[in-house]
Amino acid sequence: MDVFLKNGKGMLLAYDQGFEHGPSADFNERNIDPSFILDIAIKGGFTGVVLHKGIAEKYYSGKVPLIVKLNGKSSLVKGEPISTQVCSVETAVNMGAKGVGYTIYLGSAHENVMLQEFGEIQEEAHEEGIPAIAWIYPRGEAIKNDTAPDIVAYAARAGLEVGADAVKIKYTGDPTSFGWAVKAAGLAKVFMSGGPKASTDDVFLNQVKGAIDGGATGLAVGRNVWQHEDPLKMASALQEIIFNAREVGTGHQSAVAH
Ligand code: FBP
């Protein structure tokens, strides 16, 4: 994972939502353009950018380390969630990926399919010498609360045990319970997943600070940055918390509009 870290911490910019949620759900005239996002990744000091292969092939410039998402699904199908492979490890490596990502819906009636695919992908990625990162989201009929601390810790542990080099998990609401999930993940690095745009900047920044205080390696974020009216100011505030261990509302963060 070192290629995605700076002083042991990481800040990844995720941009697979056009596929996962649909363009009308998340995008405006600016952020529908992948070039706008890649510019934020470069200028915002991100240590990695997460793309599906189609956008990687057409827009990726090589300036920020690339993670190619290997599976995906639309939001149009209802029922128990399942997301299967749409890109090979080999293709990802050939387009310059330094890591691969895969979403596992733990607790779904179809978790077995995703766990098996991830198992194969992890082995192929390691043969190529690159990390396999699990977006490990508890979801489906069996999951009543996907951010409950025990459920998030279960996801983190499952990620470690299936061989993920890093797990991307949702915030549990406080640093102590998030810290338990970080412990459960063992030597797998933990990235907090951004989520929908928060009501205020401080709400989101405090979540990130809580995750870092709980021992997270960093953040994988999309909407809270590229839906922000000033994405680079938000990126700068995040850098202060993640890389400089600043408190919310100090240093450059005061540059964020409230
Ligand atoms: P956001 O910061 O925008 O939430 O992005 C993180 C992410 O994991 C994306 O990679 C992915 O598209 C999205 O969240 C999944 O969202 P959901 O939880 O709605 O499926």
- Asked whether the whole model's pTM tops 0.75, one would answer yes
User: What separation in Å is there between the alpha carbon of 194 and the centre of ligand 1?
Assistant: 7
In the annotation, is 59 catalytic? no
Give the DSSP per-residue string, 217-255.
-EEEESHHHHTSSSHHHHHHHHHHHHHH-PPTTSGGGGG
* Residue 20, ligand 1, Cβ within 6 A: yes
Given 9, 168, 170, 209, the catalytic residue? 168
Helix (H, G, I), strand (E, B) or coil at 92: helix
Reported as a single tens digit per residue, the pLDDT across 36-61 is 999 999 999 999 999 999 999 999 99
In the annotation, is 137 catalytic? yes
Ordered per-residue pLDDT tens for the chain, 258 residues: 999 999 999 999 999 999 999 999 999 999 999 999 999 999 999 999 999 999 999 999 999 999 999 999 999 999 999 999 999 999 999 999 999 999 999 999 999 999 999 999 999 999 999 999 999 999 999 999 999 999 999 999 999 999 999 999 999 999 999 999 999 999 999 999 999 999 999 999 999 999 999 999 999 999 999 999 999 999 999 999 999 988 888 654 444 543
To the nearest 10 degrees (0 to 180), the angle between helices 175-184 and 149-161 is 20
In angstroms, the CA 166 to CA 95 distance is 21
Q: Determine the residue type at 25.
A: A
All domains of the chain in start order, with CATH: 2-244 (3.20.20.70)
Ligand 1 pocket test, pick from 20, 69, 192, 204 with the greatest ligand atom count within 8 Å of Cβ, gives: 20
